[in-house]
Amino acid sequence: MQILDQPIDTPRIISSIDYVLELCSEATALRQVVMLVWPLLICGTFCLPHVRGKVLSLMDAFEDDYCEDLRVAREIILEQWKCMDSGLGRQSFADLMLRIGKYVLLI
């Protein structure tokens, strides 16, 4: 898996994901999570396994401000992790949505 031609375990990628997740966490504490589902979704699908708990806890924290968008984002992230854990590697968003029967990002 790569982001901008860099492996996801590159220190710069790891720190960038950590930074975005921290900003999401701070916004959650201030109840300012509008439009943060996308950064959380993207970081969540690229994060290393040891960060998954933080991603899920942020999704839980966003719950009061989102409904369907957050539920679908969670499904996409969980499906991505399942593919990664089963050795299929990171899948495209289009493939994930087809797999789970959601078409929200296929515009």
Give, for 12, the enclosing helix (H) or strand (E).
helix 11-29
Residue 107 lies in a domain: no
pLDDT at 105 over 60: no
Residue 32 lies in a domain: yes
Q: What is the CA radius of gyration of the chain?
A: 13
pLDDT at 66 over 50: yes
Residues shown for the chain: 107
Q: What's the CA angle centered on 73, arms 52 and 102, to 5 degrees?
A: 135
| Tens-place pLDDT, residues 31-61 | 767 678 888 898 999 999 999 999 999 998 8
pLDDT at 79: 96
pTM > 0.85: no
Count the domains in the chain. 1
pLDDT at 62 over 80: yes
pLDDT above 70 covers a percentage of the chain that reads 88
Give the closest residue to 82 by CA, choosing from 68, 63, 95, 70: 95
Domain span including residue 53: 2-100
In whole angstroms, what is the distance from residue 78 CA to residue 8 CA? 18
